[in-house]
Amino acid sequence: MWKFNNKGLYTVKSAYRYTMETLIDNEELRVHGEWSRIWSMCVPQRVKVVVWRMLNGCLPRCMRLQDKGGDCSNNCPYCENHYENEWNFFV
């Protein structure tokens, strides 16, 4: 009887979760927040993923590309007047 699964069955998924939650210190990898509210929205999955990426700051914007060594302008590529951020990324 495997005590780390609700049904008492051993699965690779349950072993992985047990390992990640108890044996490995992964606190620095956790992104704190109420993410269950995003994943429970009644919208297509791709919309949830875009919202999650936007709130985590991992959309492919020029600023992020510059951090990785890319050669981009700081201005919004659409209006060329404003500093690009997560919100005008969708304009």
Three-class secondary structure assignment of 48-70 = HHHHHHHHHCCCCCHHHHHHCCC
Residues 15 and 36 in one domain: no
Residues 2 and 18 in one domain: yes
Mean pLDDT over 49-77 rounds to: 76
Q: What's the confidence (pLDDT) of residue 43?
A: 93
Q: What is the pLDDT of residues 13-60, one digit of tens each?
A: 888 888 877 777 767 666 667 778 888 889 999 999 988 888 877 777
Q: What's the confidence (pLDDT) of residue 71?
A: 76
Is residue 40 within 8 A of residue 30, CB to CB? The reply is no
Band of pLDDT at residue 80, cut at 50, 70 and 90: low
Do you know the residue count of the chain? 91
The structure's pTM equals 0.51
Q: Where in the sequence is the domain holding 38, given as residue range(s)?
A: 32-59
Q: Provide the domain count of the chain.
A: 3
